[in-house]
Chain A
Amino acid sequence: MVFVDLLISTLTQGLIYALLSYGVFITYKILDFPDLTVDGSFPLGAAITGVLMLNGMNPYLVLLVSAGFGALAGLATGFIHVRLGVRDLLAGIITMTALFSINLQIAGSNLAIERSIDTIFTAKLTLILLGSMSLMQRKFIVALVIAVIVKILLDLYLKTKSGLLLRAVGDNSTLVTTLAKDKGTMKILGLVIANALVALCGSVVCQEQRAFASTMGTGQVVFGLATVIIGTTLFRRFTFVKGTTAVLVGSIFYKICIQVAISLGLPANLLKLVMAVLFLVVLVLGDKKKGGADYA
């Protein structure tokens, strides 16, 4: 039973963090923009969530508000890059650094959410639908539902005219200009959507852990990039598999790798080192040819 429990909780982690992977998929794979804002917008979602939940806001509503703040973070990076002409990597670093202080300002300090406060995993609606399950099973189902719903919404968006234009920006921005559209605006839109998803992920993680820590963003962009590259590399030959599906699997695969390492006795202090090495391995083996909209 211990093994099954471990498997379910690992899968749950993979599903929750897939939200972050979707965001990185948009910036890195579709827009060809290495967005470091993620390390700041992820804890931003968690900080907003912690504060709002302690003030008694509905946990489902908290998800949306957190995503909204993430969107603002993406807007900031987009504005700095597109309108102020700062390089993509640096624009992300600036927002990320600023967010570190902003997050602490919002939360005041590290936060813990008491058991008496309902999260999306324990709220009334969830209990009505999934009341007969254990908390662990409920977390799994809720994470699965959120990951699938967001995936479907994202897939649908990428099929719209706006989504098609977004893919065109990463693929050939000159063409977007000749289509009489501002490529800068589309880049900003992509960053807004991506960071909204990342903050949404931060919110779900905060509700799941019942905690916000100011350092929880460290390494998230590396995680996101690794899952996107793992996912798209795994399914490279299967062109019918959607990019979002690929990164969802990538996220789960990554979390399983980390869990295996921990189960084999890896000290927690070495976790980020293992993450970095895993990322390097993925980069060298997988992503020889980067960029473009590998989405079909």
Chain B
Amino acid sequence: MLELKNITKIYNPGQITETCLFDKFNLTVNDGQFVSIVGSNGSGKTSMLNIICGSIPIEGGEVLVGGKDIAKMKDYQRYRSIGRVYQNPAMGTCPNLTMLENMSLADNKGKVFGLSFGINKARENYYKEQLSILGLGLENKMDVKLGSLSGGQRQAAALIMSTLTPIEFLILDEHTAALDPKTAEIIMELTGKVVKEKNITAMMVTHNLRYAVEYGNRIIMMDKGGIVLDNSEEEKKKLKVEDVLEIFTSISIECGN
């Protein structure tokens, strides 16, 4: 279970450009939930993910994972239980390393990176099996450097890499935004499949309202550092894209957008 308690986040504190994004922000995500998060630019979606992962500092509040406060932990320490896929497909893989090397790195997450041989040939079949879930033929590109693959292929590989080892949370930060519509559709379907198969708790920020409604079992809409819509399970099933769009538009009008 993930709890954000009384989170206060101020950008540029003490300067003339000081802006308070979160003032005592609260959110609880239960195990097994797949939360879609929507909201306009600047509503605090990505900031929230960055606060969970420790990528940006907070001015106050607690980030509790399984009841333990991780707010003081460094970002890399938090990633022991968190997997993350970024908007930029280049962020989730090493371009100059081969698929096999990338998978080997991901496979060793949470273990010691010592002087034993970096690539475990015995695991190659397991990697191929995992990549074949994608149905993109990546399992036949084990010796290809990731830099020579397309953005969609890299993002698919990043998705598999981020969930290769047991994690408690999967953070998806607009991970389909940089892809063409067809590839985005494929990646989104794969995401749904991977999250279901591995039974991971996931938080997905997206600008695609249809994905937000179709996928996951909880939807949150954020605005100006607060939550304006929070539906789960049955409520969410009844929710239609038009309904979300309507709320979205009404907020935007208030903002003067």
Contacts and interface: CB of A to CB of B under 8 A. Distances in A.
Interface of A: 157, 159-165, 167-168, 171-172, 174-183, 292-296
A161 B93 CA distance: 16
Contacts of A293: 94, 96-97
B240 to A, nearest CB: 35
Contacts of B110: 180
A165 B105 contact: yes
A29 B151 CA distance: 24
Given A159-B118, A161-B108, A164-B101, 13 more contacts: A160-B117, A161-B115, A161-B118, A162-B114, A162-B115, A165-B113, A175-B105, A177-B75, A180-B76, A180-B109, A182-B74, A292-B95, A296-B98
Interface string B99-117: 0010011101110111111
B134 to A, nearest CB: 19
B90 interface: yes
Interface string B145-156: 100000000000
Which of A159, A161, A171, A174 is most buried by chain B, counting CB atoms within 10 A of its CB? A161
Which of A162, A167, A181 is most buried by chain B, counting CB atoms within 10 A of its CB? A181
Interface of B: 74-80, 82-84, 86, 90-98, 101, 104-106, 108-110, 112-119, 145, 162
A157 B118 CA distance: 9
Which of B94, B98, B105, B110 is most buried by chain A, counting CB atoms within 10 A of its CB? B94
7 contacts: A159-B117, A161-B115, A163-B118, A174-B91, A175-B94, A177-B79, A178-B82
Contact of B83 (A157, A165, A178): A178
Nearest to A167: B97
Given A159-B119, A161-B108, A174-B86, A180 B93 contact: no
B93 to A, nearest CB: 7
Given A159-B118, A161-B113, A161-B115, A177 B76 contact: yes
Contacts of B86: 174
Which 4 A-B pairs have CB atoms at the shortest separation, nearest pair first?
A: A164-B118, A171-B94, A180-B79, A161-B113
Given A160-B116, A161-B108, A175 B93 contact: yes
Nearest to A291: B96
A163 B117 CA distance: 9
Contact of B79 (A160, A168, A172, A178): A178
Given A293-B96, A294-B96, A181 B84 contact: no
Given A160-B117, A161-B114, A161-B118, A180 B80 contact: yes
Given A168-B97, A171-B96, A183 B76 contact: yes
Nearest to B101: A164
B113 A172 contact: no
Given A161-B108, A178-B79, A181-B76, A167 B113 contact: no
A103 B35 CA distance: 60
Given A162-B113, A165-B105, A167-B94, A179 B79 contact: yes
A165 B108 CA distance: 10
Contacts of B98: 296
B244 to A, nearest CB: 30
Contact of A175 (B92, B112, B113): B92
A294 B108 CA distance: 22
Nearest to A159: B118
A168 B145 CA distance: 13
A223 to B, nearest CB: 25
A294 B95 CA distance: 10
B47 to A, nearest CB: 17
B91 A175 contact: yes
Contacts of B79: 177-180
Contacts of A157: 115
Which of A162, A165, A179, A181 is most buried by chain B, counting CB atoms within 10 A of its CB? A179
A85 to B, nearest CB: 14
Nearest to A157: B115
B112 to A, nearest CB: 8
Contacts of B93: 172, 175
A292 B83 contact: no
B94 A168 contact: yes
Given A157-B115, A160-B118, A164-B118, A171 B95 contact: yes
Nearest to A162: B113
B113 A181 contact: yes
A177 B112 CA distance: 14
A183 B77 CA distance: 11
A266 B162 CA distance: 58
B106 A179 contact: yes
